[in-house]
Amino acid sequence: SAVISQKPSRDICQRGTSLTIQCQVDSQVTMMFWYRQQPGQSLTLIATANQGSEATYESGFVIDKFPISRPNLTFSTLTVSNMSPEDSSIYLCSVSNLAGKHGNEQFFGPGTRLTVL
């Protein structure tokens, strides 16, 4: 399985600011995803990060609020823009290696714990 790191591991931010979270994988992967886990809740997919093109966002998530980059097959960033306390969550990236095929498990990074004051 891939080794996935995220930076920062946690941060406390002020309302109205933006934070960029990095996800680095130790090997090339086909698929990268970004999830949000609100306090005490399950995981919700924000978007699929596509290499070299715009991310594919899920219903309820938009590019202006959560811009995503994926410049290559081992790295992606998620920015949480114009933050409010409701954005306080754990943000996780995940990877898998079969494009568009189910049955292949996803591996998750350790997450970034964000608190917005």
Q: What is the C-alpha R_g of the chain?
A: 13
Q: What is the DSSP code string of 55-72?
A: -EEPTT--TTTS-EEEEE
Rank residues 33 and 77 by Cβ distance to other proteins and give the closer one: 33
Rank residues 57 and 75 by Cβ distance to other proteins and give the closer one: 57
To the nearest whole angstrom, how small is the minimum distance from the Cβ of residue 111 to other proteins?
A: 5
Instruction: Report residue 83 as tokens.
Output: 């933050």
Going 96 to 100 to 105 to 109, the CA torsion angle's sign is positive
Rank residues 40 and 85 by Cβ distance to other proteins and give the closer one: 40
To the nearest whole angstrom, how small is the minimum distance from the Cβ of residue 82 to other proteins?
A: 26
Chain contacts with other proteins (rule: CB under 8 A): 31, 33, 41-45, 48, 56, 58, 92, 94, 96, 98-111
